[in-house]
Structure 1
Amino acid sequence: MESLTMAEQTPGTTLVLHTATPLASLALVTPDQPPQTRSLVSRGGHLEWLPAAIDEMLDEASLSAARVEQLVVTQGPGSFAGVRIALGFAKGWQLAHNTPIAVVGTLQAIALALPQQSKPLMVLLDARRGELFCQPFSWQAERGYQAVGEVTRHTPEALLEQLPAPHALVGNGVPLLEPLLNSHNHTLLAAEQGEVDPVVLAHRAGQLPSYDNQTNLQPSYLRRAEAEEKRLEREAAELATRGSP
């Protein structure tokens, strides 16, 4: 078995929560037992599934919740409900057990599980409404892929204009870009490589920002929810109507 790098050491008992994408995943990683994982593909059932799946993993490991030493949670972007579910659960857990929470962006979480590619890496998430969440990464020895830019939001056409050099592309947003790639020399990684690996996140927890209180523990949405945008449009229309002669 390949030895772990300095940035990927065997953790204390760590619980990883990811519900920001349709494929939610959990991991319970301990120093002396094989890791336990659970996953669920859903666009609306994560809230009911999450606590039961965690209880099941703890029972199988014969551990109490108080024995968990570290939480890791993806903070977005992703689905609005999904981001809130894992982060809200983690906050409640911290209040009950005083467990520190390490956070990681969804696109960074995907990148951390990937081996080094021969081309620059771009992670793409389907942002819905015909748009993509995008973030570039570069390889760093012993740390794996690290972000070299912020998460941005683009249409597939606008993103392609910004990618003159060939990239390795990964994530559930790749299918939105793929029809436009006829004459481009990009590498499309397999769909399963574009998912979050919660066990990797447990081993990488030491290189993630961690919070002992919830002051700075905020979700990353990158835009308003569709319902909020529609509400603002209605309010703007009402104001315009009132101002009309």
Structure 2
Amino acid sequence: METAEGIKILTVDSSSFTGSVALCRGEFLVAESLLNVRSTHSEKLLKQIDLLLDEVGWILQDLDLLAVVTGPGSFTGLRIGIATVKGLAQVLNKPVVSVSALQTAAMNLPLCSVPICAFLDARKKEVYSQLFEWHPSDGPIAIGPSSVLPPEKLLKELPEKVAFVGDGVLLYRHLLDALPAQQALIPVATAHQLRAAHASWLALQAWQRGLGQSAAEILPTYIRPSDAELNLSSKQGI
């Protein structure tokens, strides 16, 4: 196994419409592909991986660690990304690290001096959210639990001053603009897309703490039940 500085990492994020793949050597980004297009991740993901490997001259067997954003996010997107990474990990017999989509979003606001509110579209007029504080050496550290709530309810429960990040910001910008100017800090539009490169850095920190897993142990983080689970519960009268 390579040292942390030389470890080769493949990271996949398919938790939202924006799908991205990154190849990193330790903490340093080697190549990244990000696509914000209205096509399913199953059509693009393997092509993105193959393209990046070819461009940097790596083969799958060169990889030391695989990482995947496990949610919360699009149920279909998560299943595709996780299945892809699990399949590769099983074939290559490599460890995997799961990464939170909410923590990955918070990575977009380095050195932020106020609490960071990850604010991701959960559809059904709700958002996935979690508060983080930025630590210079550890990146974003959670200071509260993850939740899924209507944005109006969430905004009533936030601290006096927060920075918002995530695709929910663009979707519910009208609600954020109605907050007092001193409460809501909103970065430019390009700051709200999740990036596999940021998830890769988080994965490396987790791997160094001994949090690597086998492929079989990687599971999606949904926070709320899927439609299929809700329908089953309804039929069973739960």
Counterpart in the other structure of 1:90: 85
Larger radius of gyration: 1
How far 1:227 sits from its partner (Å)? 4.2
Q: Which amino acid aligns with 2:191?
A: Q
* Contact 2:99 2:202 (C-alpha < 8 Å) held by counterparts: no
Per-residue Cα deviation, 1:119-146 (whole angstroms, up to 9, x for no partner): 2110100110110101000121311211
197-206 or 113-122: bigger deviation = 197-206
Counterpart in the other structure of 1:6: none
Q: How far apart in 2 are the matches of 1:134 and 1:70?
A: 28
Counterpart in the other structure of 1:114: 109
Corresponding residue pairs, total: 228
* Contact 2:110 2:139 (C-alpha < 8 Å) held by counterparts: yes
Give yes or no for the alignment of 1:59 onto 2:54.
Answer: yes
Aligned counterpart in structure 1 of residue 145 of structure 2, from 134, 147, 150? 150
* Contact 1:170 1:190 (C-alpha < 8 Å) held by counterparts: no
Matches within 5 A, 1:196-235: 196-208=194-206, 210-233=211-234, 235=235
Q: Let me know the Cα RMSD of the aligned residues.
A: 2.3
Q: How far apart in 2 are the matches of 1:176 and 1:64?
A: 39
CA distance 1:95–1:160, shift in 2 (3 Å): same
Corresponding residue SS for 1:139 = strand
Matches within 5 A, 1:31-180: 35-42=30-37, 44-180=39-175
Runs of 4+ in 1 over 4 A off after TM superposition: none
How far 1:211 sits from its partner (Å)? 2.9
Q: How far apart in 2 are the matches of 1:223 and 1:34?
A: 33
Q: How far apart in 2 are the matches of 1:200 and 1:114?
A: 11
TM-score scaled by length of structure 1? 0.84
How far 1:206 sits from its partner (Å)? 2.5
Counterpart in the other structure of 1:20: 15
Identity of aligned residues (%): 30
Which sections of structure 1, spanning at least 5 residues, go unmatched?
1-8, 240-245
Which sections of structure 2, spanning at least 5 residues, go unmatched?
none
Matches within 5 A, 1:182-197: 182-184=178-180, 185=182, 186-197=184-195
CA distance 1:212–1:183, shift in 2 (3 Å): closer
CA distance 1:175–1:57, shift in 2 (3 Å): closer
